[in-house]
Structure 1
Amino acid sequence: MTSIYASSTNASSSTSGANLLRISGMASGIDTDAVVKSMVSNYQSKIDKANQAKQTLQWQQESYRGIISSIKGLQDYFDPLSSKYMLSGNSFNTNGVTNPNSSIATGASNSAAMPGTYTVNVQKLAEQAKVEGTSQDSMVKVTTLSNWTGGQTLKFNLDADGAGTGVAKDVDITGLTGSTPAELVASINSKIAVSDLNGKMSASYVSDSTGNYIKFMKSDSTANITLKNSGIGGTTVSEVSSADDLVINSGISSASKLSDLGITGSFSLSYDAATNTSPKIIDTTSVSTIKDLMDKVNSATGGEVTMSIDDTTGKISFQSKDYGSTSTIKIGEVDGATHTIMSKLGLAGAVPVVVGTVTTNTITIAGKDALVDITAPGQTTPTTTTQNSNKFTINGVAYSLVSKGSASITVTSNSDTVVSNMKKFIEDYNSIVSTINTKLTEKKDKNYAPLTDAQRTSMSADQITTWETKAKVGILRKDDNLTNLMTQLRGTLYSPVYSSYNSADATTGKVSLKFGTYGTGAIGIDTSTDYSDGGKLVITDEKKLKDAIENNMGDFKKMFIGASSTDLDTTKPYVGSAKYNEDGIFSRMDNIMRDYVASPGLGKDGTYSLSGYMNIFVNKQYDFGTSGTSGKNTLSDQVYNKTLSISKFQTQLNDASTRYYAKFTALEKAMNKLNTQQSSLSSMLGTSS
């Protein structure tokens, strides 16, 4: 008897997800794996289709993000932080300025300035409030050099031990010569060098805004030296004889201690009229330096008042930060002090001031306003203006005053810069139009779908890249979001711009300029007549564009960067609203792009998801549930939904495979049992296969 057992040369076994032992074709001769694979092919087909759909969605996200990133680049023109920013008046400034008298006054201009020559006569400069003391050094003013030469005498009194206990003696410096200050100082020092004053003092020449001086400086700290105020027989320098005796010191600088000036108390400081009733209290000690006091003053007033010392002249001063008559410094001694601090600082003119029960010895001084005569182009009579600063702007011209005198400032108009900026914008805008128009119109080749895993295994990397490049074509064809965006952007160009919009009478209130090539007010910018360009912008008449810029800048700015003061009804669309109609073209584009891709600067890589309709549609996932039904159908939700479907189909495939393998395993066991019985029967009958 012939046996019904048939062996399989490719018998194999495998384990299912349930660890079921799979016996493949050992008894039946059936290629179980191939049969099961065929039986579950409908599930695999569902998985492949879901994976392909998911891949298409991910490619759409990728393509969208590229477009969003490009739009974000165009938004740089509407970003105040960008160098391309065009929503300010300065971006439309056609004016240049010539300043031939920059040592007296200079000017800068914006687009509001009238071209022409401005004559500026600076009568007075604005000044800071400043309290300046007299020198704390040992100085004598030189009014006339000849008063010091020609045999004149300087009489000094010297107490050599510095304790006041030694024998004081007079030292005369006679026979002074010199035709220049430097020669006079050299003469004095040469006479000192051969006298009892040698090594104990020296002289130098100092000049500042208040005059010329001979400065005497003690170099021996143990010596007491006094310049006497009278000579013998009229031979004493006349400019000395009119002064009190002058004690020679070692010079005052920021490093000097306050005790060197004889100051041990406190004083108050008030730096403007608003704080006169609440003066700042500055505490001092004898060991504090002038630099310490300067730092305290500067800190206490928050920089509104600066204290300084000229180390050359030994003059202490207080100066306000602000200019003009409204800037005031008030310096006073705290009540109860000896009222000598002001004089020790070299500050003269203090008067007693009583505030409540407090009396202060006070100096008050205000700044000064600038007084300027300005004759603008077309004027024959100057306009006199008072300003509290040396920098101010009038009618678009920013003036900077430097010194007294007359100056001319010439403002010229040149439209080339604005035209150049418009060309750059048009180039970048057209790039966006080209990109989006290509995506909207390219046709998909149905022969190129996303590859399945099985297809990828049989292809090289280059073949996969070539295939997928073709498969990505047309995935955004006729996309609603991109179509609506382009429709709205084109609409910004041809909807009239109004200075004031009245929906009941839309024929009035329009600015005098319009988009286009022909007709009254046309600015020479239009859309391409080539339909395939998809609405690209072209400059059709550069002369008209320049004329509009140079001769009608006011309406040109309104047309492009005008910003409506009308509030938007948030329950209604922006496009078509009163605000939309009163906004300029660039302002409209800015608002529309914000609606689609969020504010300028946010999410330049295209992955931002918190605002902007297109950003949210592409990137935001709302659905995180297990059913895939709680989202808002964004692309991220759709990708998530496909991921759930793939997981579900994979589970179904695994379950079906397990069932089928179980049945074939049972069949194999039955066949083995039957074959065993057959073999036993054959043995009993004495037959063999």
Structure 2
Amino acid sequence: MLRVGGLASGMETDLIIKDLMAAKRIPLDKMIQKKQLLEWKRDDYRTMNNKIRELKDAAFDMKLESGYLSKKVTSSQENKVTVSATSLASEGQHSIKIDQLAQGASLTSGDLAGAAGGGKTLGSLNLSSDTQLVVTGEKGSKSINIKTSDSVTQMVALINNETASTGVRATYDEKLDRIFFNSTKSGTLSQVNLELANGNNINSIFGFTGSSEVTVGGMSSLTGDSYVNSGITGTQVLTVNYGSKQYNFNVTATTKVADLVSQMNSGMINDGVGVKLNSSGQLEFSNSNAGTPITFSDVSGDIVMKLGLDNTWIKSSAINAKGLNAKVEFNGIKAEYNSNSFEIAGFNFTAKETTNTAVNIGVSQDVDAVFERIKTFIGKYNTLIDDVNKELVEKKQRDFKPLTPEQREAMKEEDIKKWEEKAKMGMLSNDTLLSGALSTMRSSLSAFVGGIPDGQLKSLAEIGISSSNIVGKTISGSYSDKGKIYIDEKKLKQALTDNPEEVMAIFTKNGATEATDGIATRLHDQTTTILKQITDRAGTITSVDKSFSLGKESLDITEQMKRLTARLADMETRYYKQFTAMEKHISKMNSQSSWLSQQFSQ
């Protein structure tokens, strides 16, 4: 609203009204200052709450027995097997021998046809028609549509798009001009199985090298004691073709599956082909030359059918590789794992190489680790003690009150900052809530832990932790430290070496009462209580004002300020109306005086 005053009277109306209102606004300024003090006090409480929460979290960790059972582990051959120990590992000497490392399944193509480069097409690699590449891994199987016009890079991308479903990942190396197919996991359950539909010869396209395994049985579940075919007469011949080689095996009505497996292994193993009956009742062939197909036949076809050796199972369109388990001997006991990282009896092992002899594993109590843990905890306690004491003894600067809006406008930013640094001091000076909490914590640390049998350690002082330690000629701690505690490192380490479980009990014991609780248990419970008390008073950053006492008080002041502000606005409006009426009256009198003067002058 535009107001122009003093035109008739010549009085500085705005200045007069401003001075009048300044006196009336003194109660409002006091409310603004009081609200600001409440907000500063709230913020200081919340800052202290965060520091107390840090000690509470540390006390919770100190309550856990696992933290006192740290073990130090050594391996006589770190370059071949590394080891760490959990709290469950038994102290003493152990041994482990790595007989075989776990491996993932893998297939590697030969040198692909044509010039190296991921842009060459599958058609240039002798893929005769658009078809499907069936990719199977430990996670499952996926049929992937591939075209003769697809590039090698595109095919690799299509395979990797399904890795989450198959467990098979492909990589093309342009320098080597080869495709590497690998399982995402290791162990005997991992596999890489590739099969092309439409009769395409997978080896003529990719030229696979290395060994593979293909499961071929499965039309019926086989057992070693079952007969190959009890219904045949005389002797029939099962023929196995492996590349240019042919193997013939005699089968009669009394030939058992186990006998046939033994015959085939005796005849073919030296040429790189092995066979076994797997747990699923299928015949499983290992092939030292992944590029060489294996086919089966007999005169009648009856034996091939009974064994599930359909040529559609093993042919040039399919190839398979399987992974290996890690084979180890721990303390003389043999075991297998599908990874080179495995856990045995509280030990975490990582096998790097096979070992000819057993690796010696030494386990002992890790005194240094537990000592550092206790030292860190005491350090956090002392830090909190310092912070609380600083707040309690900080003097209020009563000459520096919160600035009113008008005062802030009249000051420079730098001066405002310096002023408020003084004004914020002593918000928690002599605070009874904090001083009471400090006293409670100090008492709990100095008291004995009840319920511990006679003759055992039962206080911090007995393990070298107290408010006044004397080590040689050095004295640590005094009354002026106001509750800080100190560590006699030699005494604490000796206690951890001689009586680790008793030291643990001093911190972790969970009794029926506070007197029988361990130190960490007490502090955790006490800090939990203190946090709730401070939260009830000052809330948290996410709290609404009406949920804590200082917030409620602030809301009350805000309401009072609104009412007073409205009254002041009405008062200011009334002053302006009164001065306006006066100006109008003076103007009218001036007009009459001017008229009278004109009349007398005629």
Decide: shared fold, TM above 0.5: yes
Contact 2:73 2:363 in 1 (8 A): yes
Pick from 666, 675, 679: which aligns with 2:590? 675
SS in 2 for 1:474: coil
Q: Describe the shift of the 1:46–1:243 C-alpha distance in structure 2 as closer, same or farther (beyond 3 A).
A: closer
Superposed CA offset, 1:389-441 (max 9, x none): 99543xx7789999998765433345223222322233333222212211111
What does residue 492 of structure 2 align with? Answer: 545
Aligned partners of 1:43 and 1:538: how far apart in 2? 58
Superposed CA offset, 1:174-215 (max 9, x none): xxxxxxxxxxxxxxxxxxxxxxxxxxxxxx99999xxxxxx9
Q: Describe the shift of the 1:23–1:465 C-alpha distance in structure 2 as closer, same or farther (beyond 3 A).
A: closer
Superposed CA offset, 1:602-641 (max 9, x none): xxxxxxxxx9736863546556xxxxxxx46523333333
Q: Does 1:421 align with 2:379?
A: no
What does residue 100 of structure 1 align with? Answer: 76
Superposed CA offset, 1:251-271 (max 9, x none): 989xxxxxxx9xxxxx9969x
Q: Which moved more, 1:96-105 or 1:661-670?
A: 96-105
Q: Rg: which structure is higher?
A: 1
Q: How many residues align?
A: 418
Aligned partners of 1:438 and 1:579: how far apart in 2? 32
Give matches, 1:91-490, under 5 Å.
91-93=67-69, 95-100=71-76, 109=85, 117-118=92-93, 217-218=242-243, 226-227=246-247, 310-312=286-288, 340-341=307-308, 391-393=343-345, 408-490=360-442
Superposed CA offset, 1:200-239 (max 9, x none): xxxx99999xxxxxx98316xxxxx534689xxxxxxxxx
Pick from 34, 38, 42: which aligns with 1:57? 38
Partner amino acid for 1:677?
A: Q
Aligned partners of 1:635 and 1:252: how far apart in 2? 84
Q: Describe the shift of the 1:121–1:99 C-alpha distance in structure 2 as closer, same or farther (beyond 3 A).
A: closer
Partner amino acid for 2:517?
A: D
Which is helix-richer, 1 or 2? 2
Contact 1:525 1:545 in 2 (8 A): no
Contact 1:440 1:474 in 2 (8 A): yes
Q: Does 1:530 align with 2:478?
A: yes
* CA drift at 1:545: 0.8
Aligned partners of 1:245 and 1:533: how far apart in 2? 86
Aligned partners of 1:473 and 1:106: how far apart in 2? 56
When normalised by structure 2's length, the TM-score is 0.56
SS in 2 for 1:411: strand
SS in 1 for 2:483: coil
Partner amino acid for 1:553?
A: P
SS in 1 for 2:400: coil
Q: Describe the shift of the 1:535–1:244 C-alpha distance in structure 2 as closer, same or farther (beyond 3 A).
A: closer
Contact 1:78 1:86 in 2 (8 A): yes
Aligned partners of 1:641 and 1:511: how far apart in 2? 57
Identity %: 26
Q: Gaps (5+ residues) in structure 2?
A: 103-208, 214-239, 251-262, 291-303, 314-326, 469-475
Give matches, 1:52-91, under 5 Å.
52-75=33-56, 77=58, 85-91=61-67
Contact 2:444 2:522 in 1 (8 A): yes
* CA drift at 1:588: 2.6
* CA drift at 1:472: 0.8
Q: Which moved more, 1:99-108 or 1:466-475?
A: 99-108
SS in 2 for 1:226: strand
Aligned-residue CA RMSD in angstroms? 5.2
When normalised by structure 1's length, the TM-score is 0.50
What does residue 175 of structure 2 align with? Answer: none
Contact 1:515 1:525 in 2 (8 A): yes
Partner amino acid for 2:458?
A: L
Q: Describe the shift of the 1:462–1:311 C-alpha distance in structure 2 as closer, same or farther (beyond 3 A).
A: farther
Contact 2:371 2:492 in 1 (8 A): yes
SS in 1 for 2:425: coil
Superposed CA offset, 1:635-686 (max 9, x none): 3333333332222222111110111111121122122222222222232233
Q: Describe the shift of the 1:108–1:37 C-alpha distance in structure 2 as closer, same or farther (beyond 3 A).
A: closer
Superposed CA offset, 1:428-473 (max 9, x none): 3322221221111111111111112222223211111111111111
* CA drift at 1:497: 2.2
Partner amino acid for 2:13?
A: T
* CA drift at 1:522: 4.3
SS in 2 for 1:412: strand
* CA drift at 1:535: 1.4
Aligned partners of 1:308 and 1:488: how far apart in 2? 73
Q: Gaps (5+ residues) in structure 1?
A: 1-13, 16-21, 80-84, 129-203, 209-214, 220-224, 231-241, 254-260, 262-266, 271-292, 294-306, 315-336, 347-368, 375-384, 501-507, 567-577, 599-610, 624-630
Q: Describe the shift of the 1:682–1:388 C-alpha distance in structure 2 as closer, same or farther (beyond 3 A).
A: same
Aligned partners of 1:113 and 1:499: how far apart in 2? 29
Aligned partners of 1:479 and 1:515: how far apart in 2? 28
